[in-house]
Chain A
Amino acid sequence: MPTTTNRLQILLQLFWTFFRIGPATFGGGYAMIPLIERETVTKRKWIDKQEMSDLISIAGSAPGGVGVNASAFIGHRLGGIGGAIAAIIGITLPTFLIVFILSFFYVQFGDNPKLEAALKGIHGAIIALILIAAYKMAKSSVFDKTTVTIALSALAVLLLTEINPIIAIVSGLFIGIILVRIKMLLGIKVFTEKQPRRSKEEIVYPEYYI
């Protein structure tokens, strides 16, 4: 059982490690992952490569940002619930402060025409980033007739009705289970994931930025 000082030390280390990662990560969650890996696997040896790869796949599929999820996971692994809290605060606080300062300036200078024009330009760039995220997500998740149908009907429903997107998400979870059941009953072979063409195992980071 670690002593109290030891425990406090671990929490502080977790906080500090993730605190330094946060501000360096323009481009969102997936930009954080290589940095998190370098800090926690290579430098501090908190977890090994295999664990890291498992952890990223869970962090990427659970709701929430992948960076925040991965830090929570590593924090929990090292310091239990307290560790998870320390890691989350560590990764969130710096960007929170930066955004906070930004919003302060926005309130002060938001009416400035130059700033408004710049934000409009960035708006265009964000549409591009979203499109790329959609394409990359589709590339890894739309790979057979069933998934094509699901994706197209979902898009149609979203565009044509005022459905709450949360309902679309929850129905997706159930549709998947039901369809796989039906296919199994019909004796159709189902792959629930796109079959990788790689043979050797390595950590693969999804390419999309989140």
Chain B
Amino acid sequence: MLWELFIAFLKIGFSSFGGGYAAITLIQYEVESHNWMSIPEFQEIVALAGMAPGPIATNSATLIGYHIGGISGAVISTLGVVFPSFFIIVIIATFLSRIHHNQWVKSSFYGLRPIIASLIAYAAIHFGFMGKSAPLLDWSTLATLVICAGALFGIIKYKMHPVTIIVASGLAGIILF
């Protein structure tokens, strides 16, 4: 079990180009294919991860690890998701500190970055509205959409800080649900 957790988060760490929000899709894929938890549980855990300071991918790893394997699960998953950063950065720093000016690297990022953009957009849909059983448009979906729209408005129009948004939406959740 611990080994599976470690390998899953290692894979996520190595492929999480574009950071946390792109990684949510990867994490959800692993969680679903291992049947580690139900989708509503997963959504709750990612919400919890967004509440805490620090990167959302690392936080989710810790929470999922704890959920599956207790304290050692949390430690193992966090190590798994952070180790690739360490490994890749040490290699780049040692051998190829000018790597981001390399033409091959630039070419591959030309193809990769639009895919990351799609992956993040997909995360919003998949993470946001999976696990909804019919009827598609019930009260809880509607309330989620309202909060989402409100949060978008606050961030774009008033440049509100993510923490303010998180706290406000938590309160809105208590009122609406």
Contact = CB atoms under 8 A, between A and B. Distances in A.
A136 to B, nearest CB: 9
Interface stretch (A3-11, A22-30, A38-46): A22-30
Contacts of A192: 106-107, 109-110
B116 A128 contact: no
Contacts of A155: 118, 121-122
Given A68-B85, A92-B82, A63 B13 contact: yes
Given A57-B100, A142-B117, A122 B169 contact: yes
Nearest to A126: B50
Which residue, B111, B145, B161, has most C-beta atoms of chain A within 10 A?
A: B111
Interface in B119-172: 119-128, 140, 143-152, 155-156, 161-163, 165-166, 168-172
B85 A129 contact: no
A76 B93 contact: yes
A165 B74 contact: no
B77 to A, nearest CB: 10
B3 interface: no
Q: Chain B interface: which size bin?
A: 35 or more
Contact of A123 (B43, B93, B94): B43
Tell me the dominant secondary structure on chain B's binding face. Answer: helix
Interface in A134-178: 134, 137-138, 140-142, 146-148, 150-152, 154-155, 158-159, 164-166, 168-178
A99 B145 contact: no
A200 interface: no
Contact of B120 (A26, A98, A134, A176): A134
Nearest to B32: A162
B38 interface: no
Nearest to B145: A124
A142 B67 CA distance: 38
Tell me the dominant secondary structure on chain A's binding face. Answer: helix
B26 A137 contact: no
Given A29-B20, A141-B117, A165-B29, A180 B88 contact: no
Nearest to B46: A126
A95 interface: yes
A64 B82 contact: yes
A99 B169 contact: no
Contact of B112 (A31, A110, A148, A169): A169
Nearest to B93: A76
B21 interface: yes
Given A124-B145, A177-B104, 19 more contacts: A28-B54, A54-B97, A61-B17, A67-B54, A100-B62, A100-B74, A103-B62, A103-B67, A117-B174, A119-B44, A121-B169, A125-B148, A125-B166, A131-B124, A132-B156, A134-B117, A150-B114, A166-B15, A175-B111
Interface of A: 22-29, 31, 54, 57-69, 72-73, 76-77, 81, 84-85, 88, 92, 94-96, 98-100, 102-103, 106-107, 110, 114, 116-134, 137-138, 140-142, 146-148, 150-152, 154-155, 158-159, 164-166, 168-181, 190, 192-193, 208-210
